[in-house]
Amino acid sequence: MCKRLVVCVGFFVFALASFSASAQTEVLDNATVSRLLSKEGMFGECMAKINKVPVIANCPNTGWVSFSCDGTYNSVQVGKMSYGLALLAYSLGKKLYIEIDDTKLHDGYCFASRVDLRN
């Protein structure tokens, strides 16, 4: 019984490690916004083009990131607040700290799971 338990626990740990290794996040610090996009029914309904390009596997190298304003990956309120921070950074020439998640995509573009406005 003990041997089976050890094998099962070992398999579970291996499976968990394999899964977490495939999910990647990337931090883009001091990013500037060059364009904003809002489109109903596409791209999570709001995106920003930033000067830093995510290099993680599933993200295209265009600099565009989605904030999921449609509520797919976070609440609509959080998505619009993140888009608002990108708009504020664009308007005031400020920089952003952005965390990108390549496991959550909107029409092929990666989701920004966290957005901070820099001073």
45 found inside a domain: yes
pLDDT in tens, 99-117: 999 999 999 999 999 999 9
76 found inside a domain: yes
DSSP output for 24-93: -EEEEEEE-EEEEE--TTSGGG-EEEESS---STTS-TT-EEE--TTSSSS-HHHHHHHHHHHHHHHHHT
52 found inside a domain: yes
Helix (H) or strand (E) holding 3: helix 2-22
12 found inside a domain: no
pLDDT in tens, 4-18: 544 444 444 444 444
13 found inside a domain: no
Q: How many domains does the chain have?
A: 1
Tokens of 76: 């609509």
**What is the residue range of 71's domain?**
25-117
State yes or no: pLDDT of 29 exceeds 70: yes
3 found inside a domain: no
Global pTM value: 0.78
